[in-house]
Amino acid sequence: MTVNYWPGSSSGKHCPILFQPGRQLKMNQSAIAFNPLFEHVQKAASALVMTSIYQPHINLVIWQRQLQKTLQDYIDALTQGLNALQLRTIIAPAEVSAWLGGLLPEDPQRHLFIEDVSQLVEMYADLFDLNVVGLRLSLINETMCPRFHTDHLACRLVTTYHGQGSEWLQEENVDRSKLGAGANGLPDHLSGIYRHHQYIQQLQQGEVGLFKGDGWINSQVNGIVHRSPHINKTDKRLLLTLDFAE
């Protein structure tokens, strides 16, 4: 199933930008270097942690939630039962339930998933005072963005409902000079962007991440360095991303 509502685009060292916000947000060029006195990642089991993204020294917020078993069972069954799913739209929070309900297969537990997606859209819209949100729900069976990169946007919400979560690097463990062309065409494990594989961090299935990009105004840190996880041919990943769309 494929539903496309807008063209994608890409630029430079960044992963494809799926929504172009009307607000021309630009990174403050005087952004300071990483200060070890300030932790740039905030994690908590409460959704209230998401407001931490407004702190100027924070570029990644992780809501360490666990999905209820009934919901996770539905998601796992949905993922295994589909060969393809690419849903993309610009939508108001109040419209998400009806939109998804008309696209997903019938199931007694479908409403649990729709309610969860709707809640995330509403939270994201409220957090950033948005009337509409760029939503993408994708079933992925290949590695999308295999190279570590930053996003050229303000902030993206990312959650993996099924499969491996997004990978990221602590600021003290990344050499930003190796981003993009600085890697000289070498893959991450050879470019020197990180020194040891154990430095690679990863979101867990169901966790919600707010990834601050290079487009955030007056940030004291650059966008979080991250990439898609490696996916084997037999694996599937159900990914939801939310972006600015106005």
Q: Identify the CATH number of the domain in which residue 149 sits.
A: 2.60.120
Whether residue 23 is contained in a domain is answered as no
The total number of structural domains in the chain stands at 1
Whether residue 69 is contained in a domain is answered as yes
Which residue(s) pair with 138 in the sheet? Answer: 86, 239
| Residue 105, both tokens | 């297969």
Number of neighbours of residue 197 by Cβ within 10 angstroms: 8
pTM: 0.84
Predicted pLDDT at 68: 97
Predicted pLDDT at 218: 85
Maximum C-alpha span of the chain: 53
Predicted pLDDT at 144: 74
Residues of the chain with pLDDT under 50: 1-37
Contact indicator for 169, 230 with CB cutoff of 8 Å: no
Cα 90 to Cα 134: distance, rounded to the nearest angstrom = 4
Range of the domain at 219: 2-6+40-50+58-179+188-244
Which amino acid is located at 125 in the chain? Answer: A
Number of Cα atoms under 13 Å in the Cβ half of residue 227: 22
Predicted pLDDT at 146: 86
Whether residue 196 is contained in a domain is answered as yes
Whether residue 17 is contained in a domain is answered as no
Whether residue 33 is contained in a domain is answered as no
* Helical spans, DSSP H, in the chain: 69-81, 96-101, 110-128, 188-191
Beta-strand relationship, 237-244 and 133-140: antiparallel
Predicted pLDDT at 34: 42
Whether residue 208 is contained in a domain is answered as yes
* Helical spans, DSSP H, in 46-137: 69-81, 96-101, 110-128
Predicted pLDDT at 110: 98
Give residue-wise pLDDT tens across range 192-243: 898 999 998 999 999 999 999 999 988 888 999 999 999 888 899 999 999 9
Whether residue 28 is contained in a domain is answered as no
